[in-house]
Amino acid sequence: MKIAVVLLLPVVVALVLAGLRVQAALDEAGRLSAVRDQLPVLRGTVELAELVADEMVTASAQPGSGALRASIDEVDAKVAEVQRDAEFAGLPADTGRELNTALGGLTGLRTADGASGDPILLTDGYRDLVFTLSELVPGLIAGAGSSDLDATAATTRSMMQLRMNLAVEEALLNSARPGPSDRTTLAAANRVAAEETVLSNQIQRGMSPEEAERFQAVIASAAARQDALRNALTDVRIADLSALAAPLSREAAALDDLIGGLEDSLSATVTERTNEGRSEALRDTALVFAALLGALAIALLVARSLVWPVRTLHAAALDAARRTLPATIERVRAGEQIDWREVETVGVEGDEEIGQLARAFDDMRRQAVLLAGEQAELRKQVGEMFMTLSRRSQSLVELQLSVIEELESDERDPGRLEELFRLDHLATRLRRNGENLQVLAGGTPSRRDHGPVSAIEVLRGATSEVKDYRRITVVNAPNGSVRSHVAADVVHILAELLENAIRFSPPEEKVVLTADRGSDGGLLVEVVDHGLGMTPEDLADANRRLAAGDAVSPETTRRMGLFVVGRLAAPHRVTVRLRPTMAKAGRSGITASVHVPGELVLADGVREPALAANGSRRGAPADPVAEPMLGRDRSVPPPTRTPIYENVVSNWFAESPVSPGPDRPAANWKSPVDETRRAAESAIEAPVPAQLTPAGLPTRTPGAQLAPGAAAPRTRTGPATGFRDPNAVRNNLARHYNGMRAARLRADSGTAPEGKADPR
């Protein structure tokens, strides 16, 4: 907008100035053109002056003759013509009036001529008329406003007056009669001749040298004639005077030619100037308009070159502010490494102001990305610090819980046990709080390996993490276990939902926790409360947050529970949904349902595949045949994997750490013990047939787990059986084992010194 004003202002000024210039040129052209239109009047006037002079001469020479009548007719025709021309030409008002007055005086002269017959008065009248006509010439030409034209017009006027004077002189001479009365006539002629001298000088001053020369030639006889007139006045010799008429009329004719020439040159000059002026005006106009158009075009080009980068910059700035920059920062926050040097530029080049602005803007954007990166880095560092600290405190809390657990298991005093329970409860809540902290810091809570956790233990674990755990009723628990790595998270999710349900339901209301197996084999847990409930919008919003797992925001602190639930559920594809309970009419409440997918739930009796190989795990719970309905299982060891057995396996039959070289050939050294061992291994791996008593307890077949042939079926031998000293048996076995090892080593290398293989 401002650019438009800046551009328009000089254009307008230029337009005004150019308009003035063109106006002036047009004005001059118009003036010249008006003068040119008046040229016929000029010509007519000049001719009329001549005709009038002729009429006067004729009237003086042959009054009342036919020639005079013809001359008068001629003059009248000319007068009519001049008047018509004047009407067409549109003369200036005063000029036209003068012309009319002069022409109107003509009839008066003619009648006066007839009445008085005084030649002096008559010629004076004619002279006045012609002089008036001659004054019209410079008056008309003055309209052109040109000094040289004015000079020529003045010369023409003077010449016309001179010519008239000559005519007057001739007329006076013609009418001169011998006698005293003629003395006055002669005196008048003499006076006129004197005037001629003045006029001639005047004319010569206004002429160029060559024109002056021609004029001199024309009036060469004037001096002699004037002398003759002066002499005639003193000598009174009339005869001489008549001889003067002939040169006079010659001179008058020559002057007529000169006047005609002058008048032609005037016409030509005026016409030429008019044409010139007009073409000049047109040229000026064309030039001005061309210049204007050029200036406009340049202005538009400049404006375009200014406006385009500004527009581009504007668009780029808006785009960056509304789309690119937030998206980039989002990406940076999501952990993507973005080099600030790779931020795309606006695309406006150049060294001028706009280009500099564009570069400044690019710099700013890069700085923003750089800052966002640094901020993300800082956030990550703070988060890591957070995580480290809270991991430490988590492990301390876990340790504390272990200690409390130990104390509890031995405590027999109910009062102290109750206090321990309170301590336990606080520590458990502390553990949950620490996990929340870790989730908020953007990490995953540190977990211990619990092994698969049965559904009831998951429910009970969730219950025990809640502040008002007494208000929770566990209604149902299905069989099946949740995989180890998910169990703690599911417990935490349920605890958060329970905490919410308890907080938003009246104190006398119980919160119901129930679980069942879903159709896909997964676990479906529901937390049912009869509390305040939520508006449908809040509910939809909460569900959306749970499903999307929103980012950390100021909202998060208000709804930390939901946030943590969403964050914990998402990686395991555990889904959490809230819906109104609708248990009884007029009562609200929310039911939160948690679905743990089938692949995360193990049916009872299935060993967790990822952990089955880990033979040294304490209290493997996944042998439910031995104890199908116990929540915890470390009390009864599985029959094939007693700690003693494992110890024996690892120490006796595992490959010794010193013996196996990588390039050692397969042992071809065999002993009957190997067969036994292999048989024992196959016996271990053989599936245990699950035969249950009517009460659900397993029946065991004695000796089924033993290696075939390793032991005879136990028979009651009675107390008479001989006593065996365990020390003796152990020494025996140790010696046997040492011997075996030594033999193996020797068979292997042949050089191994005896007794060095095993420190035992």
Reading the block at residue 490, the tokens are: 């599911």
**Residue 414 interacts with other proteins (CB under 8 A): yes or no:** yes
Choice from 395, 647, 656, 731 touching other proteins (CB under 8 A): 395
**Residue 408 interacts with other proteins (CB under 8 A): yes or no:** yes
CA distances in angstroms from 498 to 113, 424, 491, 527, 547, listed in the order given? 145, 19, 10, 6, 19
How many CA atoms, within 13 angstroms, populate the side-chain half-sphere of residue 247? 16
| Site mask for other proteins (CB under 8 A), range 496-515, x = bound | ------------------x-
Choice from 125, 461, 531, 566 touching other proteins (CB under 8 A): 461
d(CA 639, CA 756): 36
Question: Smallest distance from the beta carbon of 729 to other proteins, in angstroms?
Answer: 19
Choice from 478, 522, 533, 624 touching other proteins (CB under 8 A): 478
In the DSSP assignment, the letter for residue 599 is G
- Is the CB of 32 or the CB of 458 nearer to other proteins? 458
In sequence order, the 6+-apart residues with CB closer than 8 A to the CB of 442 are 383, 387, 552
- Is the CB of 131 or the CB of 645 nearer to other proteins? 645
Question: Smallest distance from the beta carbon of 577 to other proteins, in angstroms?
Answer: 22
Contact (Cβ atoms closer than 8 angstroms) between residue 340 and residue 373 = yes
**Residue 695 interacts with other proteins (CB under 8 A): yes or no:** yes
Please spell the DSSP secondary structure of 437-484, one letter per residue. HHHHTTS--------SEEHHHHHHHHHHTSTTGGGEEEEE--S-EE-H
What count of other Cβ atoms lies within 10 Å of the Cβ of residue 284? Answer: 18
**Residue 636 interacts with other proteins (CB under 8 A): yes or no:** yes
Please spell the DSSP secondary structure of 47-86, one letter per residue. HHHHHHHHHHHHHHHSTT-HHHHHHHHHHHHHHHHHHHHH
Contact (Cβ atoms closer than 8 angstroms) between residue 523 and residue 455 = yes
**Residue 165 interacts with other proteins (CB under 8 A): yes or no:** no
For residue 407, what is the enclosing H or E element? helix 353-410
Question: Smallest distance from the beta carbon of 483 to other proteins, in angstroms?
Answer: 10
d(CA 452, CA 605): 11
Span interacting with other proteins, options 82-90, 144-152, 268-276, 393-401, rule CB under 8 A: 393-401
Choice from 60, 484, 581, 591 touching other proteins (CB under 8 A): 484
Choice from 410, 508, 537, 663 touching other proteins (CB under 8 A): 410
Choice from 122, 173, 488, 602 touching other proteins (CB under 8 A): 488
Question: Smallest distance from the beta carbon of 382 to other proteins, in angstroms?
Answer: 18
Choice from 327, 399, 532, 548 touching other proteins (CB under 8 A): 399
Site for other proteins in 606-625 (CB under 8 A): 610-611, 618
Compute the chain's Rg from CA coordinates. 69
Question: Smallest distance from the beta carbon of 381 to other proteins, in angstroms?
Answer: 17
**Residue 475 interacts with other proteins (CB under 8 A): yes or no:** yes
**Residue 692 interacts with other proteins (CB under 8 A): yes or no:** no
Span interacting with other proteins, options 167-175, 219-227, 410-418, 674-682, rule CB under 8 A: 410-418
- Is the CB of 411 or the CB of 555 nearer to other proteins? 411
**Residue 468 interacts with other proteins (CB under 8 A): yes or no:** no
**Residue 727 interacts with other proteins (CB under 8 A): yes or no:** no
- Is the CB of 408 or the CB of 541 nearer to other proteins? 408
Q: What is the dihedral of CA 412, 414, 415, 417, to 10 degrees?
A: 70
- Is the CB of 547 or the CB of 626 nearer to other proteins? 626
Span interacting with other proteins, options 4-12, 250-258, 326-334, 391-399, rule CB under 8 A: 391-399
Choice from 424, 499, 526, 529 touching other proteins (CB under 8 A): 424
Reading the block at residue 113, the tokens are: 């001529």
Burial class from Cβ neighbours inside 10 Å (0-12, 13-18, 19+) for residue 647 reads exposed
Site for other proteins in 543-562 (CB under 8 A): none
Question: Smallest distance from the beta carbon of 711 to other proteins, in angstroms?
Answer: 20
Span interacting with other proteins, options 239-247, 487-495, 553-561, 704-712, rule CB under 8 A: 487-495
Choice from 44, 589, 637, 638 touching other proteins (CB under 8 A): 637
- Is the CB of 464 or the CB of 659 nearer to other proteins? 464
Closest by alpha carbon to 18, among 291, 297, 298, 294? 291
Question: Smallest distance from the beta carbon of 626 to other proteins, in angstroms?
Answer: 11
What count of other Cβ atoms lies within 10 Å of the Cβ of residue 399? Answer: 11
**Residue 650 interacts with other proteins (CB under 8 A): yes or no:** no
Reading the block at residue 630, the tokens are: 């116990």
Amino acid at 28: E
- Is the CB of 643 or the CB of 708 nearer to other proteins? 643
Contact (Cβ atoms closer than 8 angstroms) between residue 45 and residue 137 = yes
Question: Smallest distance from the beta carbon of 598 to other proteins, in angstroms?
Answer: 19
Choice from 46, 248, 440, 487 touching other proteins (CB under 8 A): 487
Closest by alpha carbon to 421, among 408, 437, 434? 408
Reading the block at residue 694, the tokens are: 């009517």
Please spell the DSSP secondary structure of 169-209, one letter per residue. HHHHHHH--SSHHHHHHHHHHHHHHHHHHHHHHHHHHTS-H
Question: Smallest distance from the beta carbon of 380 to other proteins, in angstroms?
Answer: 15
Closest by alpha carbon to 420, among 392, 428, 491, 457? 428
Choice from 476, 640, 659, 738 touching other proteins (CB under 8 A): 476
Closest by alpha carbon to 133, among 109, 167, 99? 99
- Is the CB of 450 or the CB of 677 nearer to other proteins? 450
Span interacting with other proteins, options 40-48, 202-210, 484-492, 591-599, rule CB under 8 A: 484-492
Site for other proteins in 213-232 (CB under 8 A): none
Question: Smallest distance from the beta carbon of 537 to other proteins, in angstroms?
Answer: 35
- Is the CB of 276 or the CB of 646 nearer to other proteins? 646
Choice from 76, 98, 195, 411 touching other proteins (CB under 8 A): 411
Site for other proteins in 586-605 (CB under 8 A): none
d(CA 745, CA 659): 7
Site for other proteins in 430-459 (CB under 8 A): 443-450, 453, 455-459
Site for other proteins in 514-533 (CB under 8 A): 514
Question: Smallest distance from the beta carbon of 566 to other proteins, in angstroms?
Answer: 20
How many residues touch other proteins (CB under 8 A)? 72
**Residue 474 interacts with other proteins (CB under 8 A): yes or no:** yes
How many CA atoms, within 13 angstroms, populate the side-chain half-sphere of residue 523? 33
Choice from 425, 510, 559, 607 touching other proteins (CB under 8 A): 425
Choice from 64, 415, 718, 722 touching other proteins (CB under 8 A): 415
CA distances in angstroms from 187 to 127, 169, 192, 201, 402, listed in the order given? 16, 10, 9, 21, 164
Amino acid at 314: H
What are the residue ranges of helices labelled H in 549-661? 554-558, 560-572, 609-612, 643-648
Reading the block at residue 328, the tokens are: 């980039």
Core vs surface per residue 521-555: b (16+ CB within 10 A) or e: ebbbbbbbbbbebbeeeebebbeebbeeebebeee
Question: Smallest distance from the beta carbon of 620 to other proteins, in angstroms?
Answer: 13
Question: Smallest distance from the beta carbon of 647 to other proteins, in angstroms?
Answer: 13
